[in-house]
């Protein structure tokens, strides 16, 4: 570059472009940190939430406990074995119930995804579940027997 091309106006313009470039880098870094924080927050373990429902007769939900056995590492598109265990307040299995599982992606609508559960032992309902996409999911378990019903959400993170 010759000396005549280094006028104050050109140097000021060059400095302005460099400053703009640095601001864009800072913004990109902030966006990256914010995205990482959101991913970390959505992947942190959450306590399953019991959903308050009324039974068919209008009575409060039974004092059953639900436990969902599902692998910690779930890969999108790969079937995984799931087992829903249902116990009463005394710790005895609740058998011959109607148990269902609904898989719902929490960040977008992925349509209906309901694996079939079959009672394989007293109070144990098993099946195969396929999570169709990576991200945060919820498995909503619903169990009913003799006019009583209970539901519980279980968070799942899919890779």
Q: What is the CATH number of the domain that holds 133?
A: 2.60.40.1930
**Together in a domain, 113 and 140:** yes
- Residue 88 Cα distances to 61, 67, 105, 147, 149, angstroms: 12, 12, 29, 15, 12
Token digits of residue 96: 């011959």
- Coil/strand/helix, residue 106: coil
Residue 56: which domain range? 49-158
| Tens digits of residue pLDDT in 39-84 | 444 444 444 444 444 445 555 668 999 999 999 999 999 999 999 9
Q: How many domains is the chain partitioned into structurally?
A: 2
Contact criterion met (CB below 8 Å) for 61 and 72: no
Same domain as 26, residue 70: no
CA distance 20 to 70: 49
**Reported pTM:** 0.65
Share of the chain residues as helix, strand and coil, in percent rounded to the nearest 5 = 25, 40, 40
Per-residue confidence (pLDDT) for residue 25, from 0 to 100: 73
Structure tokens at 157: 């993170």
């Amino acid at each position: 570059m010759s000396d005549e091309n280094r006028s104050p106006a050109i140097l000021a313009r060059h400095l302005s472009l460099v400053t703009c470039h640095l601001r864009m880098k800072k913004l990109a870094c902030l966006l990256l940190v914010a995205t990482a924080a959101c991913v970390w927050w959505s992947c942190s373990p959450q306590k399953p939430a019991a959903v308050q429902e009324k039974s068919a007769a209008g009575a409060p939900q039974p004092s059953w406990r639900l436990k969902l056995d599902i692998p910690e590492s779930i890969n999108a598109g790969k079937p995984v074995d799931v087992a829903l265990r249902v116990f009463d307040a005394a710790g005895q299995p609740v058998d011959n119930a109607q148990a269902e599982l609904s898989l719902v992606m929490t960040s977008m609508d992925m349509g209906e995804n309901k694996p079939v559960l079959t009672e394989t032992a007293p109070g144990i309902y098993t099946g195969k579940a396929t999570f169709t996409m990576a991200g945060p999911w919820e498995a909503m378990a619903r169990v009913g027997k003799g006019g009583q019903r209970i539901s519980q959400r279980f968070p799942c993170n899919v890779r």
